[in-house]
Amino acid sequence: MIIWPVKYILWAVIFCFYAGFPAQAKTWLVGPDFRLHKPSEAIKLAQDGDIIKILAGLYENDYAIIDQNNLTIEGVNGFAHLKSSGNIPGGKAIWVTNGTNITIRNIEFSGAHVSDKNGAGIRLQEGSLTLENCYFHGNEMGILTAGKPDISLFINNSEFSRNIQDYSVTGKLSHNIYVGTIAVFLLENSISRGAKYGHTVKSRAQNTIIRNNRIFDEGDISASYLIDIPNGGQVLIENNYLFKNKGAQNNALISYGTEGMRYDKNYLTIKYNTAISEADNSILLRNRSNVDAKILGNYLTRVKFDKGIMGGFWRKIKEKIKDVLR
């Protein structure tokens, strides 16, 4: 029988104890007084599960692709401002995200312009992303997602302001928020304002929840729709403040199904919103689908209740059927 020295036995016990736990997350510090001066430097070094803390301040023309999972990136003592004033590598966004369960908070994105006119603060290409207390302004697109069924986007307590371009020159539309055909999109406790020609919020997601937000035209700048849900899906629009000015291209505040229905399951609930318009001919909803929208408890000022062409058509058919059955 082999008798091991006590010190080897102790080392074996210690090794087995720590082997049962995942490696501890590392925190990376970014700022002028730290070893890492740029957010992109920390993003390149970080591993899955790490935390990146960026000191508040301006970080100009610093671009990154984020591939890690379970990564948290946050500004400290205020917004860390990622400003683009040059050519964006890859022609997509200031930050491109591909990882699962990425959280970004206290970060400001501005100035993203690219050759195809879709320059965004963030381009969500894969995985899932949570935004908390972020600010997107002066980009061509605030945030833009790919159209993949396993992507999820959650936005809380953030602001999207005047992400626009000159449509008369470029022929391209800009949106504060543009969500592709993804699984889930949640927008809550946030502001989206000052979109021009494009939409203030546009979602093609299978499941869309828009609640407790302020979504509005600003000054003499007008969006096409405040909320555009062009491909249907399961949608809840609840407890939002909606304001549309008289210069808007469309008289509807909300649009549903105008580009054709995509999903097998569809419903639309619009409830407890405050909807205000400067124009006398405004309607709350333009519904091009055969979905019977549930609309209740909304406070409307200069906004008419109208389910739209298809919604109105199906409502009349149901009324005729009821008359026949009486």
pLDDT tens digits along 183-232: 999 999 999 999 999 999 999 999 999 999 999 999 889 999 999 999 99
Q: What pLDDT does residue 247 have? A: 86
Whether residue 174 has pLDDT greater than 60: yes
Rg, Å, the chain Cα set: 24
- At 277, the amino acid letter reads S
Distance CA 176, CA 217 (A): 12
Q: Look at residues 97, 228, 218 and name the one whose alpha carbon lies nearest to residue 159.
A: 218
Distance CA 196, CA 172 (A): 11
Q: What pLDDT does residue 186 have? A: 98
Whether residue 315 has pLDDT greater than 60: no
List the domains of the chain with CATH numbers: 27-325 (2.160.20.10)
Mean pLDDT of the chain: 89
pTM for the full predicted model:
0.88
- Report whether 46 contacts 72 (CB < 8 A): no
Q: What pLDDT does residue 172 have? A: 83
- At 6, the amino acid letter reads V
pLDDT tier at 7 (50, 70, 90 boundaries)? very low
Q: Quick one: the chain helix, strand, coil %, rounded to 5?
A: 15, 40, 45
Whether residue 180 has pLDDT greater than 70: yes
Give the three-state DSSP class for 9.
helix
- Report whether 109 contacts 136 (CB < 8 A): yes
- Residue for token digits 């609840």? 238
Distance CA 5, CA 2 (A): 10
- Environment class of residue 305 by beta-carbon count within 10 Å: exposed (0-12), middle (13-18) or buried (19+)? exposed
pLDDT tier at 2 (50, 70, 90 boundaries)? very low
- Report whether 124 contacts 143 (CB < 8 A): yes
Q: What pLDDT does residue 306 have? A: 66
- Report whether 253 contacts 285 (CB < 8 A): yes
Distance CA 212, CA 323 (A): 40
Q: Look at residues 273, 283, 209 and name the one whose alpha carbon lies nearest to residue 241.
A: 273
Other C-beta atoms closer than 10 Å to the C-beta of 16 total 9
Whether residue 256 has pLDDT greater than 70: yes
Other C-beta atoms closer than 10 Å to the C-beta of 65 total 18
pLDDT in tens, 136-162: 999 999 999 999 999 999 999 999 999
pLDDT in tens, 80-111: 999 999 999 999 999 999 999 999 999 999 99
Query: How far, rounded to the nearest angstrom, does the alpha carbon of residue 83 sit from its chain's CA centroid?
Result: 19
Helix (H) or strand (E) holding 74: strand 72-83
